[in-house]
Amino acid sequence: MDFLNSLDTDNIIILVFAYIFVAATVAKLGSSREVGGKKTLMYSLLFTPLYGLYYVYNSPAKDTLKIAHYRCPECGLEHTDGHSHCPNCAKEGKRVRLKKFYMRTY
């Protein structure tokens, strides 16, 4: 059986749907990554879902991405919750603004 001859309209439609379905599945994986679902879907449709999958696995997971830290320039303590002023220095009556920075954890 010739493969090209077996590709009638119905088969092409099925193939296109399967392609979109696979791309959407890859995009779903991408939505939990830094790259995001929309971008993954775009890459999957344009450069095949295999490329999209490759893209997803090279992207760090979202929940381990950036964690905001707040460091006090006065006492050097680090806080992960969003205090605007250092609670440690506040005990001594000082109002020290915390410096926000991001750390990547893997």
Site residues (vs Zn ion, CB under 5 A): 72, 74-75, 86, 88-89, 96
Residue 47 Cβ, how far from Zn ion at the closest point, in Å?
A: 50
Distance CA 103, CA 106 (A): 10
Distance CA 47, CA 67 (A): 32
Taking CA 21 as the corner, what is the angle to CA 43 and CA 40, rounded to the nearest 5 degrees? 20
Residue 104 Cβ, how far from Zn ion at the closest point, in Å?
A: 24
What's 60's DSSP letter? Answer: P
Of 28 and 99, the one with the shorter C-beta distance to Zn ion is 99
Of 77, 100, 80, 101, nearest to 90 by C-alpha is: 77
Of 29 and 86, the one with the shorter C-beta distance to Zn ion is 86
Of 23 and 89, the one with the shorter C-beta distance to Zn ion is 89
Residue 70 Cβ, how far from Zn ion at the closest point, in Å?
A: 10
